[in-house]
Amino acid sequence: MSDSEDDGPPQLSSHALAALQEFYAEQRLRTEPGADEKYNIGIIEENWQLSQFWYCQETALRLAQEAMRAAGDGGRIACVSAPSVFQKLRELQGEGASACIFEYDKRFAIYGDQFVFYDYNKPLDLPDSITAHSFDIVVADPPYLSEECLQKTSETIRFLTRAKVLLCTGAVMEEEAARLLGVRMCKFIPQHTRNLANEFRCYVNYDSGLD
Ligand SMILES: C[S@@+](CC[C@H](N)C(=O)[O-])C[C@H]1O[C@@H](n2cnc3c(N)ncnc32)[C@H](O)[C@@H]1O
Protein backbone atom coordinates (compact mmCIF):
# COMPACT_ATOMS: atom_id res chain seq x y z
CA MET A 1 0.00 0.00 0.00
CA SER A 2 1.15 3.57 -0.61
CA ASP A 3 0.48 6.34 1.94
CA SER A 4 1.21 9.27 -0.34
CA GLU A 5 -1.93 11.41 -0.88
CA ASP A 6 -0.86 12.10 -4.49
CA ASP A 7 -1.20 8.43 -5.40
CA GLY A 8 -5.00 8.47 -5.16
CA PRO A 9 -6.97 5.99 -3.06
CA PRO A 10 -4.88 3.32 -1.30
CA GLN A 11 -4.43 0.11 -3.29
CA LEU A 12 -3.99 -3.42 -1.92
CA SER A 13 -1.08 -5.43 -3.21
CA SER A 14 -2.03 -8.39 -5.42
CA HIS A 15 -1.04 -10.76 -2.57
CA ALA A 16 -3.20 -8.95 -0.04
CA LEU A 17 -6.10 -8.85 -2.50
CA ALA A 18 -5.81 -12.57 -3.22
CA ALA A 19 -5.72 -13.34 0.52
CA LEU A 20 -8.80 -11.19 1.09
CA GLN A 21 -10.67 -12.84 -1.75
CA GLU A 22 -9.76 -16.28 -0.38
CA PHE A 23 -10.99 -15.24 3.07
CA TYR A 24 -14.37 -14.04 1.72
CA ALA A 25 -14.75 -17.16 -0.44
CA GLU A 26 -14.10 -19.31 2.63
CA GLN A 27 -16.63 -17.32 4.66
CA ARG A 28 -19.23 -17.81 1.90
CA LEU A 29 -18.54 -21.56 1.84
CA ARG A 30 -18.92 -21.81 5.59
CA THR A 31 -22.28 -20.05 5.64
CA GLU A 32 -23.85 -21.64 2.58
CA PRO A 33 -26.50 -24.37 3.15
CA GLY A 34 -24.85 -27.74 3.78
CA ALA A 35 -21.54 -26.21 4.88
CA ASP A 36 -21.93 -27.66 8.39
CA GLU A 37 -22.10 -31.19 7.06
CA LYS A 38 -19.25 -30.62 4.64
CA TYR A 39 -16.60 -29.16 6.94
CA ASN A 40 -17.61 -30.45 10.37
CA ILE A 41 -17.35 -33.93 11.78
CA GLY A 42 -20.26 -34.41 14.12
CA ILE A 43 -20.54 -31.01 15.72
CA ILE A 44 -16.79 -30.34 15.65
CA GLU A 45 -15.53 -27.76 13.19
CA GLU A 46 -12.01 -27.91 11.77
CA ASN A 47 -9.49 -25.80 13.70
CA TRP A 48 -6.57 -25.10 11.40
CA GLN A 49 -4.40 -24.00 14.33
CA LEU A 50 -4.43 -27.69 15.30
CA SER A 51 -3.72 -28.87 11.78
CA GLN A 52 -7.23 -30.34 11.50
CA PHE A 53 -8.25 -31.47 8.06
CA TRP A 54 -11.19 -33.87 8.15
CA TYR A 55 -11.67 -36.80 5.80
CA CYS A 56 -14.70 -36.77 3.56
CA GLN A 57 -17.48 -39.11 4.69
CA GLU A 58 -16.59 -41.82 2.16
CA THR A 59 -12.96 -41.97 3.32
CA ALA A 60 -13.88 -41.97 7.01
CA LEU A 61 -16.29 -44.84 6.30
CA ARG A 62 -13.76 -46.83 4.29
CA LEU A 63 -11.08 -46.47 6.98
CA ALA A 64 -13.49 -47.34 9.79
CA GLN A 65 -14.69 -50.44 7.92
CA GLU A 66 -11.10 -51.47 7.24
CA ALA A 67 -10.19 -51.00 10.93
CA MET A 68 -13.18 -53.15 11.99
CA ARG A 69 -12.29 -55.87 9.51
CA ALA A 70 -8.65 -55.88 10.61
CA ALA A 71 -9.47 -55.80 14.34
CA GLY A 72 -11.89 -58.72 14.06
CA ASP A 73 -15.01 -59.37 16.17
CA GLY A 74 -14.74 -57.50 19.46
CA GLY A 75 -11.25 -56.28 18.53
CA ARG A 76 -10.07 -52.98 20.02
CA ILE A 77 -9.27 -50.01 17.77
CA ALA A 78 -7.17 -46.95 18.68
CA CYS A 79 -7.71 -43.81 16.62
CA VAL A 80 -4.65 -41.62 17.15
CA SER A 81 -5.19 -38.07 15.87
CA ALA A 82 -7.87 -39.49 13.57
CA PRO A 83 -11.17 -38.36 15.10
CA SER A 84 -13.38 -38.77 12.03
CA VAL A 85 -12.52 -42.47 11.87
CA PHE A 86 -13.46 -42.76 15.55
CA GLN A 87 -16.75 -40.97 14.95
CA LYS A 88 -17.53 -43.26 12.02
CA LEU A 89 -16.79 -46.29 14.20
CA ARG A 90 -19.32 -45.02 16.72
CA GLU A 91 -21.87 -44.60 13.98
CA LEU A 92 -21.25 -48.17 12.81
CA GLN A 93 -20.87 -49.89 16.18
CA GLY A 94 -22.92 -47.67 18.46
CA GLU A 95 -21.87 -45.92 21.64
CA GLY A 96 -20.32 -49.08 23.05
CA ALA A 97 -17.80 -49.20 20.19
CA SER A 98 -14.60 -50.89 21.28
CA ALA A 99 -12.58 -47.93 20.06
CA CYS A 100 -10.68 -45.11 21.75
CA ILE A 101 -9.88 -41.65 20.45
CA PHE A 102 -6.41 -40.31 21.29
CA GLU A 103 -6.64 -36.57 20.71
CA TYR A 104 -5.07 -33.25 21.67
CA ASP A 105 -8.29 -31.34 21.00
CA LYS A 106 -10.30 -31.49 24.22
CA ARG A 107 -13.56 -30.83 22.37
CA PHE A 108 -13.51 -34.60 21.75
CA ALA A 109 -13.77 -35.19 25.50
CA ILE A 110 -17.52 -35.36 24.79
CA TYR A 111 -16.80 -39.05 24.19
CA GLY A 112 -16.15 -39.60 27.89
CA ASP A 113 -14.20 -42.74 28.75
CA GLN A 114 -13.37 -43.35 25.11
CA PHE A 115 -11.41 -40.08 24.94
CA VAL A 116 -7.73 -40.11 25.89
CA PHE A 117 -5.91 -36.79 25.95
CA TYR A 118 -2.82 -37.19 23.79
CA ASP A 119 0.05 -34.91 22.81
CA TYR A 120 2.47 -36.43 20.31
CA ASN A 121 5.30 -34.44 21.96
CA LYS A 122 4.93 -36.78 24.95
CA PRO A 123 4.41 -40.06 23.11
CA LEU A 124 4.19 -42.35 26.14
CA ASP A 125 2.54 -39.93 28.51
CA LEU A 126 -0.72 -41.89 28.65
CA PRO A 127 -3.04 -42.81 31.53
CA ASP A 128 -2.27 -46.02 33.46
CA SER A 129 -5.50 -47.53 32.14
CA ILE A 130 -3.89 -47.66 28.68
CA THR A 131 -1.64 -50.68 28.76
CA ALA A 132 0.98 -51.71 26.22
CA HIS A 133 -0.16 -53.59 23.11
CA SER A 134 -3.81 -53.51 24.09
CA PHE A 135 -5.26 -52.54 20.68
CA ASP A 136 -5.70 -54.88 17.72
CA ILE A 137 -5.12 -52.04 15.28
CA VAL A 138 -4.02 -48.42 15.50
CA VAL A 139 -5.30 -45.93 12.91
CA ALA A 140 -3.17 -42.77 13.01
CA ASP A 141 -2.98 -39.50 11.14
CA PRO A 142 -0.22 -37.36 12.72
CA PRO A 143 -0.84 -33.62 12.71
CA TYR A 144 2.36 -32.55 10.94
CA LEU A 145 4.36 -33.73 7.94
CA SER A 146 7.67 -33.77 9.72
CA GLU A 147 10.12 -36.50 10.63
CA GLU A 148 9.97 -35.48 14.27
CA CYS A 149 6.17 -35.71 14.43
CA LEU A 150 6.08 -39.09 12.66
CA GLN A 151 8.87 -40.44 14.83
CA LYS A 152 7.11 -39.48 18.07
CA THR A 153 3.69 -40.63 16.89
CA SER A 154 5.27 -43.95 15.83
CA GLU A 155 6.47 -44.43 19.38
CA THR A 156 2.87 -44.18 20.56
CA ILE A 157 1.63 -46.47 17.77
CA ARG A 158 4.20 -49.16 18.60
CA PHE A 159 3.25 -48.97 22.27
CA LEU A 160 -0.49 -49.28 21.62
CA THR A 161 -0.73 -51.89 18.89
CA ARG A 162 -0.61 -55.67 19.16
CA ALA A 163 0.64 -55.67 15.58
CA LYS A 164 -1.52 -53.90 12.97
CA VAL A 165 -1.01 -50.32 11.88
CA LEU A 166 -3.00 -48.17 9.44
CA LEU A 167 -1.21 -44.87 9.00
CA CYS A 168 -2.45 -41.91 6.94
CA THR A 169 0.04 -39.23 6.09
CA GLY A 170 1.73 -37.49 3.19
CA ALA A 171 3.26 -39.39 0.29
CA VAL A 172 6.54 -37.64 1.16
CA MET A 173 6.71 -39.62 4.41
CA GLU A 174 6.82 -43.01 2.64
CA GLU A 175 10.45 -43.90 3.43
CA GLU A 176 10.31 -42.66 6.99
CA ALA A 177 7.04 -44.53 7.63
CA ALA A 178 8.55 -47.77 6.26
CA ARG A 179 11.61 -47.34 8.44
CA LEU A 180 9.72 -46.50 11.64
CA LEU A 181 6.70 -48.78 11.35
CA GLY A 182 7.39 -51.27 8.57
CA VAL A 183 4.37 -50.05 6.62
CA ARG A 184 3.88 -49.87 2.85
CA MET A 185 1.78 -47.53 0.74
CA CYS A 186 -1.75 -48.67 -0.28
CA LYS A 187 -3.50 -48.02 -3.57
CA PHE A 188 -6.47 -46.44 -1.79
CA ILE A 189 -6.12 -42.65 -1.65
CA PRO A 190 -7.80 -40.87 1.26
CA GLN A 191 -9.84 -37.78 0.40
CA HIS A 192 -10.52 -34.75 2.57
CA THR A 193 -13.40 -32.29 2.75
CA ARG A 194 -11.16 -29.73 1.04
CA ASN A 195 -8.23 -30.09 -1.32
CA LEU A 196 -4.89 -30.29 0.48
CA ALA A 197 -1.66 -28.99 -0.96
CA ASN A 198 0.14 -32.25 -0.13
CA GLU A 199 -0.47 -35.65 -1.67
CA PHE A 200 -1.95 -37.90 1.03
CA ARG A 201 -1.72 -41.69 1.27
CA CYS A 202 -2.52 -44.66 3.51
CA TYR A 203 0.09 -47.15 4.70
CA VAL A 204 -0.36 -50.57 6.34
CA ASN A 205 1.82 -53.36 7.72
CA TYR A 206 -0.68 -56.20 7.04
CA ASP A 207 -2.82 -57.53 4.17
CA SER A 208 -5.52 -54.89 4.05
CA GLY A 209 -8.58 -54.26 1.92
CA LEU A 210 -7.13 -50.91 0.85
CA ASP A 211 -5.20 -52.24 -2.17
C1 LIG B 1 -4.17 -33.95 9.99
S2 LIG B 1 -5.42 -34.05 11.25
C3 LIG B 1 -5.98 -35.68 11.04
C4 LIG B 1 -7.49 -35.78 11.11
C5 LIG B 1 -8.05 -36.85 10.18
N6 LIG B 1 -7.82 -36.48 8.82
C7 LIG B 1 -9.53 -37.04 10.45
O8 LIG B 1 -10.34 -36.59 9.63
O9 LIG B 1 -9.86 -37.66 11.47
C10 LIG B 1 -4.38 -34.10 12.64
C11 LIG B 1 -5.04 -34.37 14.00
O12 LIG B 1 -4.02 -34.20 14.99
C13 LIG B 1 -4.57 -33.53 16.11
N14 LIG B 1 -3.48 -32.82 16.81
C15 LIG B 1 -3.14 -31.51 16.75
N16 LIG B 1 -2.12 -31.25 17.58
C17 LIG B 1 -1.78 -32.43 18.17
C18 LIG B 1 -0.79 -32.81 19.14
N19 LIG B 1 0.05 -31.93 19.67
N20 LIG B 1 -0.75 -34.10 19.51
C21 LIG B 1 -1.59 -35.02 18.98
N22 LIG B 1 -2.54 -34.72 18.08
C23 LIG B 1 -2.64 -33.44 17.67
C24 LIG B 1 -5.61 -32.61 15.52
O25 LIG B 1 -6.57 -32.26 16.50
C26 LIG B 1 -6.18 -33.46 14.37
O27 LIG B 1 -7.28 -34.22 14.79
pLDDT tens-place string over residues 75-132: 999 999 999 999 999 999 988 779 999 999 999 999 999 999 999 999 999 999 999 9
* 44 and 76 inside one domain: no
* Counted domains in the chain: 2
How many CA atoms, within 13 angstroms, populate the side-chain half-sphere of residue 73? 0
pLDDT value for 10: 57
* 186 and 93 inside one domain: yes
pLDDT value for 31: 46
Cα of 47 from ligand 1 centre, angstroms: 10
pLDDT value for 22: 47
The atom number, within ligand 1, closest to the CA of 50 reads 15
The atom number, within ligand 1, closest to the CA of 108 reads 25
Spatial CB neighbours of 63, under 8 Å, sequence gap ≥ 6: 55, 82, 85, 88, 139, 166, 168, 190, 202
CATH number, domain containing residue 176: 3.40.50.150
* 102 and 44 inside one domain: no
More confident residue, 209 or 36: 209
pLDDT value for 3: 45
User: Is residue 209 domain-resident?
Assistant: no
* 28 and 86 inside one domain: no
* 177 and 96 inside one domain: yes
Q: Would the CB of 51 count as within 6 Å of ligand 1? A: yes
* Owning domain of residue 38: 5-49
* 39 and 101 inside one domain: no
Q: Would the CB of 123 count as within 6 Å of ligand 1? A: no
